[in-house]
Amino acid sequence: MSASTSTGYLAGFACLIGRPNAGKSTLTNALVGQKVAITSSKPQTTRHTIRGIVTSETSQLVLVDTPGLHKPRTLLGQRLNDLVRETLLEVDVIGFCVPADQRIGPGDRFIAAELAELKRGKRTPVVALATKSDTVDRDRLAEHLIALDQLGDWADIVPCSATRGDQVDVVGRVLSGHLPPSPGPLYPDGQLTDEPEMVMIAELVREAALEGVRDELPHSLAVVVEEMVPREGRPDDKPLLDVRVNVFVERDSQKAIVIGRGGSRLREVGTNARTGIEALLGQRVHLDLHVKVAKDWQRDPKQLGRLGF
């Protein structure tokens, strides 16, 4: 990633909202370019599920989930719940999906009214997205765009079709254009994985354990995350997550290599892995590492099953 502040890099958080079946997840996948759902968090805020990261030379758009917005009951019955409001207040830009193949209805008006109120408080730009544009003819689309324009005061209006890929790049550019300046990307380039957290944590430990001894233990290392539990009795603003991880090797000689003289190597593995895990989860972690011998586990179907293969 060569971009720097001099080239005016932009990076930040966006969320797509809309009533059920408005095409939010299809659009997310189209924007990111593959099916993804990376889970991570924004520092010092509520944990949000990250649905995907769109990185370009000039910007990085991090798409986060808005919980609760796809429940019609919540949507029409009650006010938007606090968590959704909080998410909407934290993101830098909002994409409001209104499908072109349906008339604008009470659900859309309800969200539009909520967004208007939000803008009075925080001036977050809202881009109206006429999704599913490929399902209607040009006249119907024009009619829909006019109705959408009258529904609220939008920063931009973009028609798009995620399934056909029409204007998806324009949606990405327009949303990214409303992000704040940043010295560079918020997440490593190329990070848009659909691995659940446990798998990613195991990978980080495996990577740290193989650092420098790859030749001696190339494949005979399996890592299993036993449990992840929040430490009890911690203040709300300083949570700590206890992560228990077992590292399996096939022979005692390999166990000695991983542990190192007086446990020095294992401590180093723990420190390196913990740094990566804390960055991934966005919170402090206590990592409890155990090295165990599972004799010839690569050739034992029972053990392979237990180790998640």
- The DSSP result for 73-137, as a single string, is IIIIISPPPHHHHHHHHH-SEEEEE--TTS---HHHHHHHHHHHHHHHHH---EEEEE--GGGS-
β pairing state of 59-64 and 93-97: unpaired
In whole angstroms, give the CA distance from residue 160 to residue 127.
Answer: 12
CA neighbor of 111 nearest in space, from 19, 28, 20:
19
Q: Residue 37: which residues within 8 A CB-CB, separation 6 or more?
A: 49, 50, 51, 52, 194
- Does 303 or 198 have the greater pLDDT score? 198
Q: What pLDDT score was predicted for residue 238?
A: 87
Which residue has better confidence, 212 or 307?
Answer: 212
User: Of 136, 79, 72, whose CA–CA distance to 105 is shortest?
Assistant: 72
Write down the pLDDT at residue 149: 96
Instruction: Strand 93-97: give its sheet, edge to edge.
Output: 50-55, 59-64, 10-17, 93-97, 126-130, 156-159
* Residue spans of alpha helices (H) in the chain: 24-32, 72, 82-90, 106-122, 138-151, 168-177, 197-210, 252-259, 264-281, 301-306
Contacts (Cβ under 8 Å, ≥6 apart) of 200: 193, 280
pLDDT reported for residue 156: 96
pLDDT, one tens digit per residue, over 31-49 is 887 544 433 333 322 335 6
Q: Rounded to an integer, what distance in angstroms lies between the CA atom of residue 227 and that of residue 250? A: 22
Instruction: Tell me, rounded to whole angstroms, the distance of Cα 2 from its chain centroid.
Output: 23
Taking each continuous run of H as one helix and of E as one strand, the counts in the chain are 10, 9
Position 82 confidence tier, pLDDT thresholds 50, 70, 90: low
Q: What is the DSSP letter of 234?
A: -
| Averaged pLDDT, 99-117 | 89
DSSP reduced 3-state for 63: strand
Q: With contact defined as beta carbons under 8 Å apart, do 71 and 78 qualify? A: no
Convert 27-40 to b/e letters by CB count within 10 Å (16 or more is b).
bbbbbbeeebbbbb
pLDDT value at residue 304: 63
- Reported as a single tens digit per residue, the pLDDT across 182-227 is 888 887 665 554 346 777 788 788 888 888 776 666 567 788 888 8
182 or 176, greater pLDDT: 176
The structure tokens listed for 115 are 């967004």
**Residue 281's pLDDT band (boundaries 50, 70, 90)?**
confident
Dist. CA 246–CA 307, nearest whole Å: 10
40 or 267, greater pLDDT: 267
The answer on pLDDT for 76 being more than 60 is: no
Give the Å distances, CA to CA, from 47 to 87, 130, 168. Answer: 10, 29, 27
**Phi, psi torsion values for 118, nearest 5 degrees:** -60, -40
Q: Which amino acid is at 36?
A: V
- Contact partners, residue 146, CB within 8 Å, separation at least 6: none
